[in-house]
Amino acid sequence: MRRVIFNQKGGVGKSTITCNLAAISAVEGKRTLVIDLDVQGNSTQYLLGEKVSDSDKTIAHFFKDTLSLSLFGGGSSGSGLESAIHETPFPNLFVIPSHPELEPLQSRLESRMKIFKLKEALEKLEGFDEIYMDTPPILNFYSQSALIAAGKCLIPFDCDTFAREALYSLMQVVAEVKADHNHNLEVEGIIVNQYQKQANMPRQIVEELIAEGLPVLAAMISPSVKVRESHTESKPLVHFVPNHKLTDEYRALHAEIHGS
């Protein structure tokens, strides 16, 4: 299963959600890959403890390779992603890191119409049960590539009025990508993050979204200082605080999207 975690709004917890869901998949014995498509590299740092300086071992190198046409094969039996895969300190969990070189590559990739290359590569990639893609907080070449390559889309949502207005346009974006480029793409659900159930406004917004028929997931994520602490330690919550309430919320979220 290939999932993309996407929102055009920053600060909604995309990287945190990506890495924690992936870490739970790995703990459950599934060989799991995270692909970090955000030039900020937050998922990379969360899982590896540092940025990756060598662009030849990142997603940037994969995209750079797509700009070089080889007439004589040269390893065409593989996906082109294998050399960029890094082991993390956590069993069954792997990452293809981001790199700052993604930024200057983008215009060249767009002009050469390489938007389907990630999907093609992932269809050839073997050996993984679950793939999670973290995206930049903008609809650009990389987030579109991930939407085209994914089967499911998870949308993080924080409960404020501006986020709600942005959510409608975001759902439209996903619908357009589905119609134009990826008929298999489905919005798996809206993840309510930083949810304060005692506060009136968040509860009201969530109730209204559900009443409108939007696919709000039942498992919601509370605010906690443990998230920042886990970032600092570069340990997903299931490894950092396995018995914490927040970790249990992520387990519930993971179980819900996997139908268990």
pLDDT in tens, 51-92: 898 888 999 999 999 998 654 454 445 679 999 999 999 999
CB-facing half-sphere around the CA of 103: CA atoms within 13 A = 5
**In this prediction, what percent of the chain has a pLDDT beyond 70?**
95
Structure tokens at 17: 């959600």
pLDDT of residue 21: 98
Distance CA 115, CA 181 (A): 10
Please say whether the beta carbons of 119 and 81 come within 8 A. no
Mean of pLDDT values over 29-36: 98
pLDDT of residue 150: 98
* 98 band by pLDDT with thresholds 50, 70 and 90: very high
Specify which residues 130 forms β-bridges with: 32
Look at the block and give the residue holding tokens 């992936």. 22
Greatest mean pLDDT among 26-40, 59-73, 185-199 lies in: 26-40
pLDDT in tens, 200-234: 888 999 999 999 999 999 999 999 999 999 999 99
Q: What is the mean pLDDT of the chain?
A: 93
* 260 band by pLDDT with thresholds 50, 70 and 90: low
pLDDT in tens, 148-172: 999 999 999 988 767 788 898 999 9
Distance CA 212, CA 206 (A): 10
pLDDT of residue 77: 55
pLDDT of residue 22: 98
Please say whether the beta carbons of 122 and 79 come within 8 A. yes
